[in-house]
Amino acid sequence: MFDAALPWWAANGLDREHGGYVEQVTPEGRDAGIAFKRTRVTARQIYVFSHAHMLGFAPGLELARHGIDYLAAKTWGGPDKGFARKLTREGALLDPTPDLYDHAFTLFAFAWHHKATGDAASRDWMHRTLDYIETHLRVIDGEGFWHELPPKGWRQQNPHMHLTEACLAAFEATGEARFSTLAKEIVGVFTRRFFDLESRTLAEYFTEDLARAPGDDGRIIEPGHQLEWAWILNSCRKQLGLQVAPQIRALAAFAETHGVDPVTKITFNTIHDDGTPIDRASRTWPNTERIKAAIALHELDGVDPAPVIKSSAGLLLDRYLSRTLPGTWIDVVDANGRPVPGNAPASTFYHVFLAFAEVLRIDG
């Protein structure tokens, strides 16, 4: 991470001409020339460089500041419009849709930048972001938040998960009850609606009143999200005192039993709620979340995380992080263990770096 990835993305991951960060790089390490820039990628890279600075990567603050300036100047449409989903490569408005996932990550970015710097402006942006979420994305006379405006398609758990993560980071950065209160509220929605403790399954898609979507859509399970929620809930347990141990254990157990190949230890992309695999291929990120869930179980029950860290980190290093330029990655490995040709998305850095930082944290 410190020897290859951070220096490589510091040198090659910024768009010095138009501002912001490069969206994807080719296997040869060139800017892939993607025609858009996603707000979530800007936010994720701000997080990486802010956290990296806190772990001793000296250029981190300057690199994060580059993204902070771009986020505030280019993607913010004001208190009535929030953050745009996408800009053109040059920085013009491309997709103004207010997206809860994007807003969760902007809150996350500002929280980590504030943690790294104590910057009052980032704290103001945290409140500005949450003001928009509360005012415009909250479901009136319902539970939780709309995933986008205007709402289209099924309601989704995933943006709620990242909003919980962002609120925890904001609470840790400021100690302000506003953020902890919202995190507790979303965990309540999780336990009542998103997660079924009896079957140990976390659905992805829901009707307007947060019943599981009918048909196959409501049966889709992403093992990576089960593992990610286990880690986030453990953070809620530690920081907020929430009693969520049964949910943490159940999330991780189902994912480990049905979502991880018993031979290769690769974490599948998707399975059915009965445990039958749907997509045996695997992106980088579910394997990083398996590491974080193992750390959650270690902190909760004293379970030795070393076997999971060894298998998943080894898998990442062997199949994803060492078959391309040092510091970049393969995004997808197919069901037969073969890398799928394609660009390296910058968005993956958030997952890889956070898992790496968690291993460092418990190892230190």
- 95 dihedral zone (left: phi>0; alpha: psi -120 to 50; beta): beta
Sign of the CA dihedral running 134, 139, 145, 148: negative
Per the structure block, which two tokens stand in for 201? Answer: 């399954």
Q: 335-341: which pairs have CB atoms within 8 A and are 24 or more residues apart? A: 335/279, 335/280, 335/281, 337/264, 337/266, 340/281, 341/27
The label of the residue with tokens 């209160």 reads 181
- pTM for the model stands at 0.97
Give me the residue spans of the domains in the chain: 5-363
DSSP assignment of 133-197, as one string?
A: IIIIIB-TTSSSB-SBSS--SSEESHHHHHHHHHHHHHHHHH--HHHHHHHHHHHHHIIIIIEET
- Alpha carbon of residue 85 to chain centroid: 16
Per the structure block, which two tokens stand in for 328? Answer: 């970049």
| 301 HSE (CA, 13 A, CB side) | 14
Which pLDDT belongs to residue 162?
Answer: 98
Angle formed at CA 9 by CA 7 and CA 12, multiple of 5 degrees: 110
Residue 320 identity: Y
- 304 dihedral zone (left: phi>0; alpha: psi -120 to 50; beta): beta
Q: In this structure, what is the dihedral angle of CA atoms 347, 351, 354, 360, given to the nearest 10 degrees?
A: -130
Sign of the CA dihedral running 226, 361, 38, 159: positive
Which pLDDT belongs to residue 363?
Answer: 87
In words, the CATH class of domain 5-363 is mainly alpha
Which pLDDT belongs to residue 322?
Answer: 87
Cβ neighbours of residue 23 under 8 Å, at least 6 residues apart?
Answer: 32, 34, 36, 37, 38, 41, 345, 346
- Which residues of the chain, if any, have pLDDT below 70? 364
Contact, 107 vs 166, CB < 8 A?
yes
Residue 295 vs residues 200, 232, 307: alpha-carbon distances, Å? 19, 11, 11
Q: Could you tell me which of 224, 161, 215 has the C-alpha nearest to residue 193?
A: 161
